[in-house]
Chain A
């Protein structure tokens, strides 16, 4: 076993504690990417990026998909994926719209109905994936159509106005700034802290890592793999409904198409944040920062005076370069070759 030859000198790398770079490499990396991008934007459009307005703008819009990314991080760490959350956003918000506008029930009843729907959808996904052992990539495409279809049938394809006069409480919760601070980012911060604590300081979070790393070992040591995965999917359902409500209130209107265009931003936030597609490793801080990077690209490219057609190009470049760098750095840390073979 590794007995140091010279007690006074720190011996080979296995003997020392992993350095901060090793332990937090991917998190430091993503923060670095964020800072670098910010500098580029400041140099490219100083007038825009030294003004607070641009920050207020993407502090309102980024959490709309970022909140779901927080919950999706759990599912990805367990080694699964959920592609149905855009439809859950719509179905949950539709239940809110129907209970309040069609049945005239109070807003809080609508909220309970919406979140119950989100939880049920997530639980259903989790049941199919974990209990019946169906690949999540396949089955959540199926449930995505199922939930969207149910919503379209319920709404008959029409939307519902969500004005501040009719829904003052909802606007206070989801839209109006809190002492001048965009409330969307306030929620992102609160839910981010909750998600971080769940992942890093609870048994559920510990089991999420174990299940994603090696489900057989986890089962042998008494971890209930099925229950852990089902809870992770349920979390996505709940957070998706939160985001669906927030997004709809932000636009004063519930569109039956709510959630469309959210899929790639959300998944990109999780992967850009350093969570591994192979499961077992991931970072809530990474997802949080990556959300704002992706949000900033949207707002930044346009404000920097670059044609909006470039947005997706910049998007793609940042994501591809960051993920490639992250993967290579991680392999170097583990002492593997660059291609991992």
Chain B
């Protein structure tokens, strides 16, 4: 459901006038972006449009340039970092998967958020058991198929992506950011991933979905941002635009940098 009266809704995350410059290159420029509670927002744009930079700014990996602001549930956050963002309930499935391949599955599952017992020491047995349970319950691995002690390097591409997605899901995130999650996946793995994204919404949580493939993005999102050369070229509610119109406009923006004629 699209939140119709968005004025009364406090967005989960909001970027105001966010820019990010790397040396001479301005990857994103004056971006205003928000995700409302229970909303799935799509982010479309060509290669180099600034999608990944935006994701990494939302995730706290990059700090916006001075003048840009990050709001979480209405309050301004000054010390934006990955640890802070994860602490507030934002989890990301990165395009590059962000796995440590020489480590066993359980270490990857709990990367940066290791479980500890009451003595403050790592709860290794607990993490192994949880990893095993999550793999069989959420990613549909039969419980014997993947052992939590298996090295990630020995897994297939889809299984690795399964680890990355399950990891984002486990921590009951308020907001899940998915950066090209279907890249390199088989048909059935893609279907499973798209179902998973729909389930985020059913659970009342929010998501940002970035993908090249508009046929994957359009059916599940509520709102769409089109990013072009570091700027927001357009924002659409799904009820405002059909898939064909959207495709038409994306072609136009790629040619001329303008969405409307």
Contact = CB atoms under 8 A, between A and B. Distances in A.
Given A202-B122, A206-B122, A213 B82 contact: no
Contact of A200 (B122, B151, B159): B122
Contact of B111 (A1, A3, A16, A221): A221
Contacts of A224: 83
B149 to A, nearest CB: 5
B175 to A, nearest CB: 15
Given A200-B122, A209-B100, A217-B99, A18 B158 contact: no
Contacts of A335: 154
A10 B147 CA distance: 13
Contacts of A18: 147, 149-151
A294 to B, nearest CB: 26
Given A2-B146, A15-B144, A334-B153, A206 B114 contact: yes
Contacts of A4: 142, 144-145
B94 interface: yes
A23 interface: yes
B61 A219 contact: yes
B88 to A, nearest CB: 12
B102 A281 contact: yes
Given A203-B122, A210-B111, A220 B150 contact: no
Contacts of B254: none
B122 A220 contact: no
B138 to A, nearest CB: 13
B141 A1 contact: yes
Nearest to A198: B121
Interface string B146-173: 1101110111101100100000000000
A334 B97 CA distance: 21
Interface core residue of A3, A200, A201, A222 (most chain B CB under 10 Å): A222
Nearest to A10: B144
A334 B159 contact: no
Nearest to B148: A17
Contacts of B97: 217
A1 B121 contact: no
Interface in A1-47: 1-4, 10, 14-18, 23
Nearest to B91: A221
B116 interface: yes
B158 A1 contact: yes
B107 interface: yes
B165 to A, nearest CB: 13
A202 B60 CA distance: 25
B92 interface: yes
B135 to A, nearest CB: 10
A245 to B, nearest CB: 29
How big is chain A's contact interface, by range?
35 or more
A107 to B, nearest CB: 32
A223 interface: yes
Given A4-B144, A213-B103, A17 B86 contact: no
Contacts of B110: 206
Nearest to B147: A17
Residue in B97, B114, B124 with the greatest tally of chain A CB atoms within 10 Å: B114
B188 to A, nearest CB: 8
A3 B141 CA distance: 7
B168 to A, nearest CB: 10
A197 interface: yes
A139 to B, nearest CB: 25
B94 A210 contact: no
Contacts of B100: 209-210, 213-214, 217-218, 280
A1 B145 contact: yes
B72 to A, nearest CB: 15
Interface centre among A18, A200, A203 (most CB of B within 10 A): A203
B190 interface: no
A231 B203 CA distance: 41
Top 4 nearest A-B pairs by Cβ distance? A222-B82, A213-B100, A221-B112, A17-B147
6 contacts: A2-B159, A3-B145, A14-B145, A23-B149, A213-B102, A221-B112
Given A205-B122, A217-B99, A334-B151, 15 more contacts: A1-B139, A2-B146, A2-B159, A16-B144, A17-B150, A200-B124, A206-B114, A209-B107, A210-B112, A213-B102, A214-B101, A217-B111, A221-B112, A223-B112, A334-B154
